[in-house]
Amino acid sequence: MKNTPFTSKHIALGAKMAEFAGYNMPISYTGINDEHAAVRKNAGIFDVSHMGEFILKGEHALDLIQRVTSNDASKLKAGQAQYSCLPNNESGIVDDLLVYCIEENKVYMLVVNASNIEKDWNWISSHNTAGAEMHNISDKTCLLAIQGPNATKILQALTDIDILNMKYYTFAKGKFAGVDNVLISATGYTGAGGVEIYFEDSNDAANIIWDAIFAAGGPQGLKPVGLGARDTLRLEMGYCLYGNDIDDTTSPLEAGLGWITKFTKDFTARTLLEAQKATGVTRKLVGFEMVDKGIPRHGYEILDATGTSIGVVTSGTQAPSLGKAIGMGYVQGVYATAGTEIFIKVRDKSLQAKVVKIPFA
């Protein structure tokens, strides 16, 4: 297993550690419900340094990004980011990612999922026919997500960048906790507000920044948060998790990601996705909440009232903020309308649930 620069910090804080995407990662510290509540109500810090980062440079960088991603990166100005995905040749999803415009038409950073770093690098490289300059900076890049309604208030004293008024999906580079060249981004995977900060692991930067954040935030109740609460937080918002809700066999249109699929440019599988949009998808990713008592889990079958299989659960949990069991899954299109009754097969029982709009409420 690989370690992040913060692994010893997690162990010292008593984190339950486990392997995730080849890394030794903290799953929880004081418990998922407690950490989840800290992020929703105050602030929490996640070590997500296992994520992958690629730099694409040069006059052909934007062209390459446009051809391999579904969203329109030409709309990005310097200091803006966007959510996107990498469609494969069959209209499935190689990965979902963030695209950061560092310098318009010249320098971009792609942030990809930890489990897909090599796969994504190879996929993008295979389309790099014009010779854009590519650098995989994943191993030397630290990434901390400080999330929650009070996150930016806690961190503002550590930087001259005005993070209190930073617009969603914008970013700036500057000094943070005395460390130069830190990228601070108004993004996150929790729906609770806050920022993500990227910096190079050099000159003890990881220790300096981690300790400064806790010195500023500890007295105000900031807590370390593991991947367990990261999952419950993102699921309450209806955010897709690669490998669960989206993968090489699911199209962005089926997954409700039509909003990041722009047909104003040419990209991988555009023709297939345009045809899919014209005819309509046969299955859709929906949110649902349990009516009967029980917790849905990844892989559970979704049934109609007659017991016929109509789909499969991709994510499910007991939602800490909502006090009820929720899930997401793919169902046949006719069952995708909010309010529709469905059933989840839990062991040998069919438990009633209903389709709801996401984010969950």
Q: Classify domain 7-49+139-235 at the CATH topology level.
A: Gyrase A; domain 2 (3.30.1360)
Query: In the chain, which residues have pLDDT < 50?
Result: none
pLDDT for the residue 149: 98
Token couple for 361:
């409420």
Give CA separation, 265 vs 57, 112, 151, 222, 261, in Å. Answer: 20, 22, 37, 43, 10
pLDDT tens track for 40-88: 999 999 999 999 999 999 999 999 999 999 999 999 999 999 999 999 9
Q: What is the pTM of this model?
A: 0.97
pLDDT at 144: 98
What pLDDT, on a 0 to 100 scale, did the predictor assign at position 72?
A: 98
pLDDT at position 119? 98
Domain extents in the chain: 7-49+139-235, 282-361
Q: What is the pLDDT of residues 299-331, one digit of tens each?
A: 999 999 999 999 999 999 999 999 999 999 999
CATH superfamily of 282-361: Aminomethyltransferase beta-barrel domains (2.40.30.110)
166 and 80 in contact (C-beta within 8 Å)? no
CA distances from 165 to 99, 156, 213, 237 (A): 21, 10, 19, 23
Burial 286-318 (b: 16+ CB within 10 A, else e): bbbbbbeebbbebebbbbbeeeeebbbbbbbbb
Q: Say yes or no: do domains 7-49+139-235 and 282-361 share a fold.
A: no
Distance between CA 115 and CA 334 in Å, rounded? 33
Helical residues (DSSP H) of 238-331, grouped into ranges? 270-279
pLDDT at 134: 98
